[in-house]
Amino acid sequence: MAMSGGLDSSIAAMLLHEQGYELVGITMKTWDYEQSGGNIKETGCCSLESVNDARNVAVSLGFPHYVTDIREEFNRYIVKDFVEQYLAGRTPNPCVLCNTYIKWAALLERADLLSCDLIATGHYAGIAGHDKRYIIKKSKDQSKDQSYSLWGLKQEFLKRTLFPLGSYTKDKIRKIALEKGFEDIAVKRESYEICFIPDDDYRGFLKRQVQGLEKRVDGGDFVDSKGKVIGKHKGYPFYTIGQRKGLNIALGEPMYVKQIKPESNTIVLGKEEELYQKIFTVKGLNCIKYEKIPRGMELSIKIRYKNQGHPGRVYQLDDDKARIELNEKVKAITPGQSAVFYEKDDVVGGGFIEKVEDIL
Would you name the residues annotated as active-site residues? 98, 195
In whole angstroms, what is the distance from residue 89 CA to residue 279 CA?
19
Sheet holding 229-233, edge to edge: 229-233, 220-223, 266-270, 256-261
In whole angstroms, what is the distance from residue 306 CA to residue 166 CA?
18
8 Å CB contact between 329 and 278: yes
**Quick check: helix, strand or coil at residue 96?**
helix
Size of the chain, expressed as the number of residues it contains:
360
Neighbours of 279 (CB within 10 A): 16
DSSP class of residue 265 equals T
Q: Which of 358, 337, 355 is nearest to 149 (CA)?
A: 337
What are residue 213's phi and psi, to 5 degrees?
-60, -50
What are residue 206's phi and psi, to 5 degrees?
-60, -40
Q: Which of 207, 201, 205, 198 is nearest to 40 (CA)?
A: 198
Q: What is the DSSP string of 127-162?
A: EEEETTEEEEEE-SSTTT--GGGGTT--HHHHTTEE
Burial of 118 (0-12, 13-18, 19+ CB in 10 A): middle
Q: Which of 313, 283, 281, 309 is nearest to 298 (CA)?
A: 313
8 Å CB contact between 267 and 221: yes
